[in-house]
Amino acid sequence: MIRRAFPVLGLAIFSSMLGVGIVAPLLPLYAENMGASGTWIGIIFAGFSISRAVVMPIAGKLSDRSGRKLFLGTGLLIYSLISMGYIWASTVSGLTLVRLVQGVAAGMVIPIAQAYVGDISPEAEEGTWMGYFNAAFFTGFGFGPLMGGTLTDHFGMNVAFSTMGALNLLGFFLVTFLLPEVKAKRTKSGLQPSYREIGRSNTVKGLLGFRLAFSVGRGAFASFLPIFAGVYIGLSPTRIGILIAANILLMSLLQPCGGAVADRISRRLLVVLGSIANLAFLALIPSGVNFWQLLAICLLGSIGGAISIPAASALIVEEGRKFGMGSTMAVFGMVFSIGMAIGPLLGGVIADVFNIRSVFYFGSGMGVLGTSFFIWCTK
């Protein structure tokens, strides 16, 4: 089953994330051109994550009862349509509204797609198949910033936003017409999926702490690296896109390898080692003074993600079999969204009160806390 269904799902997720990634190097500069302060830029990024966090647990639990395909297709279609809103938005508040609606769509796509893969992954191969899924996800999201920067330099932002909509529409057609439906498996305990039961698992608690810290740092990175690199170092949109793309693409290329390793050695150890590399990457960003230094630092962050993410994903699949795959993936994704909201929001305040370099130190400090919490919960 997985060898037949995964290529379709992987291609749909790659296409969707390619479209979503286009906006990564553009949105902070686009908002700043509208007159947005650092705090408002944080709000714009956080709006997406907040609405996604609200939708995820609802969509996850419903997908455990009625199947995954409906939610995937609906989310991709909304994603495609709302992409045009970036062109029509003329104010900071209008741009925030577009991000809120896009977050609703995102809440129906990624956690449900992860649950789909978890449902059909053979036991003892969770790391391998989640590694392949993460590779499709991060490869699309990694090429997106490079494409967005290049399209903007040569054709303008409106063409970049239109391309984002078209790519998500392609993902919608792939899921609707080629992806087979899969019914959610019964939990190993035989109980109905329950968020209360999920919250009692120490492994889940530790993974959520890791996920929260990772996403806070990632949110700060995505929101403020373009401004740090563009305003303070003077890099072009294309070079900013290369930095973000290099960070994500190397991480994506290493995901299958990281997943295979996670099926053979301690997944807990891999999460810890990858987390340490990631918090070091964030702490080093303010020391970069040119493109090449920032590129080397971004590659360090890629290695950290390649080590920790497949291992954490495999662990959460194991827990999903106990408590309901859609519900468990939704909680995992919801915490990621909360972190992606906290990172830009607090990062914006920190940038306004102190300076932009302090944003990355804050992200690194959160990594220390998250790693420590994971170690304590899973001891």
Q: How many CA atoms lie within 13 A of 199 on its CB side?
A: 4
Q: Which residue has the higher pLDDT, 307 or 157?
A: 307
Structural domain of 169? 2-177+191-377
Which residues, in sequence order, are CB contacts of 3 under 8 Å at separation 6+? none
Residue 219 has pLDDT above 60, yes or no: yes
How many other C-beta atoms are found inside a 10 Å radius of the C-beta of residue 181?
10
Confidence at residue 192, expressed as pLDDT on a 0 to 100 scale: 59
How many other C-beta atoms are found inside a 10 Å radius of the C-beta of residue 254?
22
14-18, 35-39, 75-79, 103-107: range with lowest mean pLDDT: 35-39
Whether 182 is covered by a domain: the verdict is no
Confidence at residue 297, expressed as pLDDT on a 0 to 100 scale: 92
Mean per-residue pLDDT of the chain: 84
Which residues, in sequence order, are CB contacts of 225 under 8 Å at separation 6+? 240, 243, 244, 285
Whether 49 is covered by a domain: the verdict is yes
Confidence at residue 189, expressed as pLDDT on a 0 to 100 scale: 53
Question: Is the distance from CB of 120 to CB of 182 less than 8 angstroms?
Answer: yes
Mean pLDDT of 347-355: 86
- The count of domains in the chain is 1
Whether 90 is covered by a domain: the verdict is yes
Confidence at residue 184, expressed as pLDDT on a 0 to 100 scale: 57
17-21, 134-138, 345-349: range with lowest mean pLDDT: 17-21
Whether 341 is covered by a domain: the verdict is yes
Confidence at residue 190, expressed as pLDDT on a 0 to 100 scale: 53
Residue the block writes with tokens 């920067």: 149
pLDDT, tens digit, for every residue of 85-141?
A: 888 877 888 888 988 998 888 888 888 888 888 888 888 788 888 888 888 887 887
pLDDT, tens digit, for every residue of 150-193?
A: 887 888 878 888 888 888 888 899 888 888 877 655 555 555 55
Give me the CATH number covering residue 278.
1.20.1250.20
First to last CA, the chain: 36
Q: How wide is the angle at C-alpha 53 spanned by C-alphas 30 and 374, nearest 5°?
A: 110
Whether 166 is covered by a domain: the verdict is yes
Q: Which of 39-43, 218-222, 230-234, 306-310 has the highest mean pLDDT?
A: 306-310
Residue the block writes with tokens 């959520």: 208
Whether 183 is covered by a domain: the verdict is no
Whether 186 is covered by a domain: the verdict is no
Whether 352 is covered by a domain: the verdict is yes
Confidence at residue 186, expressed as pLDDT on a 0 to 100 scale: 56
Burial class (CB within 10 angstroms; exposed 0-12, middle 13-18, buried 19+) of 276: middle
